Structure 1
């Protein structure tokens, strides 16, 4: 069975970059009828916050990305300890004591010599006595996985055939000096024991994947299929890293972005398929193919979400937006015609407020000096209420016959006088909702 996972760290709110990873893994699992795991990567007790765990779940529920089960890495520390013991017994795990300053000096020396800045494995030559002395001086060291210096190869679902020389990579630190288990080993143990078959994540993890493949094999696990998607940039190709805080999903939600608009964009962005608004999750699932994504950095512009949001809202029946319509004060008996008028003229649901204020209170008329007499005469011809969908046509015909005006010279001054705007909804649908004008009629 296909099993995927999304493994966010609860150290902040999830943003569009996280969503890309979550969505791809979700769609793969759902298309195959498999399992999607939400795995909370909370092995860092100082930075992990329960409020962020709750926020992650809320954001995913808002988007309709429903998980089959939740796992927490903080509940599995004993499993990581067992894996670490197994690696020690195999001679693949060793303690190192260099300070950050010492490591930095080693890297600079290697670079000056034209060599790759790879950890030199000096700790492997330490005697037990030397290790005890260092522990007494510096505290516990970090634990590094000893890589086999061979080529690590796999066929990536997006990048194609990948080959990395393990000798060009430092032995990865898996456990810090304070005992904190790091992502590299925790993820391997979880993926293996939870039967994860497919892992999609950012291309910044490619080297990490190479080392994890060796750890998986050392622990006797089965390697999942890996795919590494491109990283997002800003609309001009600039790095998004400094702006991701403003692209948190809850911020986009606050701005009125609709879930299906966001999902439709993210399910195609960076692929060879055009971005198209989808009506529901089933369409997204059916049309998804991870192999259609490319490796080039992918430009993301939050402004692209708003036309998609507007288009999505236009497709919705009143029943799906009734709460928002009621919230701005529209009476139940006018909700249907109000929504029919407003949905073609809004970008987000927050725009409903302005349209209802126009209907309820009217607007300051825009009347040019040369149109003042025309408007005064036209208002005397306004039929008595109640108004309906035919009132606008009946009224403008009567005004045309009385004044001789026609076309734009007829309709535009009337629109501006009634709405204070040069453009907007069809007047036939708006006029019956204008309460001030209805009262006058």
Structure 2
């Protein structure tokens, strides 16, 4: 790199941080970290009517949860209005921008006439001064907008990091409004000034911004600013090939935390939606940063796959230290009203059950039986707690009340009872699971029972 790498993510607080923006943030973060550069958070809040503090708070919370640490910011565009206005004043003075007094009705009539002629609707430049051109008289009481004087000839060409060379003719672009009648600058203008002031070297964003790029490049050139490199990543599609929607999982990133997903799993999965490193499917943050050099970004849309996310999350759960899982699950169980003891049992429970779980919700569901009374189904009770097994259960309860409470002794005691009553392990183990755990399937029953308090097991076996 000939200049310091500086990337940014610039969400609008008109809604929560969704998966597409989170992926763009991840790519921008990983690229900056790979090159030893800077990653900047910017809040594009000039849409005052729709922006909310709740959305700002959620965006920052999502960035923190994903551990996408930023080196500068958050910067807020509404706190930079004086800067934007100063740049606009300079452009007006230099002739790269001008006032336009068209009313909304005039613009509507202009577009209708163009459509009637089979032309593309666009501003016709009637307030753009040219040598020998007479402008209309300034109407009284009409606050003007400010428009950028876009070049009329030539092309805008850039080498996109994802799509390769893109060329758009200036004749396809009309004179963009850069300031509204009330003096509020518009999105495309604020972005340009922000990227210029913050010395952004690389802009990685969704390909819905491709049409904005030639306009922004022209404004940057008019300001004499150095251009960043652009990379436009394709959108994320739902499993049916349509645009990702709420029914597919296009919800707030923070809802994935609530759903029991780990941030490392989300980072791993999101990174693979539109980027690859050979055939590697599973990797940690350090590997992602080491590999993410800006190459191998896919040109085709990625497809959301909830089952694949669950598979990645299950892998991350298995590799997460048990005490770390215990801290996360303890909060979930507390939210359910469970009284979770502050000892090492919860970590041992996580170790026993985590291989069976794709989410922390599933892990909490498993461990809930240790802290909340269970309600076996009538079908399970009738199928497994039979008259043949009841005498053995009664004998086992008596023995469990007096033995040392550890896995080995519990296992030996169960074997004694099986021998004494002439039963097979599944007969007694299924009945134990139903009564003590409320379900028919668990890991090895001796390992499961060991982690219960003895009095809980005895109470659930009482009255068999």
Please indicate the TM-score interval, normalised by the length of the shorter structure. 0.7 to 0.9
Whether contact under 8 Å (2:203, 2:228) holds in the other structure is yes
Cα displacement (A) at 1:118 = 3.2
From 285, 297, 303, the equivalent of 1:299 is: 303
Partner of 2:65: 62
Cα displacement (A) at 1:149: 2.4
The superposition leaves residues 377-427 of structure 1 with CA deviations (integer Å, 9 ceiling, x where unpaired) of 432453433332224542453355345554756654554454332323332
Task: State whether residues 122 and 174 of structure 2, in contact with CA within 8 Å, keep that contact through their aligned partners in structure 1.
Answer: yes
Change in 2 beyond 3 A, CA 1:176/1:60: same
2:161 and 2:229 in contact (8 A); partners too: yes
Is the contact made by 1:269 and 1:275 (CA closer than 8 Å) also made in structure 2? no
RMSD over aligned Cα atoms? 3.1
* 1:162 Cα offset (Å): 0.6
SS at match of 1:74: helix
The farther-off stretch of 182-191 and 28-37 is 182-191
Q: Deviations over 1:299-327 (max 9, x none)?
A: 22456434433332222223313434544
- The equivalent of 1:154 in structure 2 is 158
Task: Identify the residue that residue 3 of structure 1 maps to in structure 2.
Answer: 6
Preserved CA contact (<8 Å) 2:238 2:248? no
- Assess if the C-alpha contact under 8 Å between 1:155 and 1:162 holds in 2: yes
- In the alignment, the residues of structure 2 paired with residue 370 and residue 323 of structure 1 have an alpha-carbon distance, to the nearest angstrom, of 35
1:422 to 440, 448, 452: 440
CA contact (8 A) 1:387 1:438 kept: no
Question: Does the alignment pair 1:248 with 2:252?
Answer: yes
Partner residue of 2:224 out of 216, 220, 224: 220
Match of 1:106 in 2: 110
**Range with greater deviation from structure 2 (138-147 or 348-357):** 348-357
Taking the aligned partners of 2:433 and 2:256, their CA distance within structure 1 comes to 34
CA separation in 2, counterparts of 1:209 and 1:416? Answer: 63
1:89 aligns to 2:93 (yes or no): yes
1:130 aligns with 2:136: yes
More helix by share: 1
Separation in 2, partners of 1:130, 1:371? 93
In the alignment, the residues of structure 2 paired with residue 92 and residue 425 of structure 1 have an alpha-carbon distance, to the nearest angstrom, of 73
1:27-426 → structure 2 map (5 Å cutoff): 27-70=30-73, 71-124=75-128, 130-133=136-139, 136-240=140-244, 247-273=251-277, 276-279=281-284, 281-302=285-306, 304-326=308-330, 327=334, 328-331=338-341, 332-360=343-371, 361-364=373-376, 366-368=380-382, 372-382=386-396, 383-384=399-400, 385-391=403-409, 393-402=411-420, 404-406=422-424, 411-426=429-444
Q: Which residue of 1 aligns with 2:457?
A: 437
- C-alpha separation in 1, matches of 2:256 and 2:175: 40
- Contact kept? 1:86, 1:219, Cα under 8 Å: no
**What TM-score, normalized by structure 1, do the two folds share?**
0.87
Q: In structure 2, do the counterparts of structure 1 residues 129 and 2 end up closer, same or farther at CA, with 3 Å as the change threshold?
A: closer
Give, in whole Å, the separation in 2 of the partners of 1:150 and 1:342: 65
- CA distance in 2 between counterparts of 1:241 and 1:9 reads 18
Specify the alignment match of 2:25 in structure 1. Answer: 22
Distance in 2 (alpha carbons) for counterparts of 1:137 and 1:242: 45
CA deviation vs aligned residue, 1:32-67 (integer Å, no higher than 9, x gap): 111111112223444333343333222211211111
Q: Is contact 1:381-1:398 (8 Å) kept?
A: no
Alignment coverage as a number of residue pairs: 438
TM-score by length of 2: 0.83
For structure 2, the residue ranges without an aligned partner over 5 or more in a row are none
Alpha carbons 1:363, 1:418 under 8 Å: kept: no
* Cα contact 1:153–1:161 (8 A) shared by 2: yes
Kept after mapping to 1: 8 A contact 2:128/2:149? no
Distance (Å, rounded) in 2 between the aligned partners of 1:402 and 1:381: 9
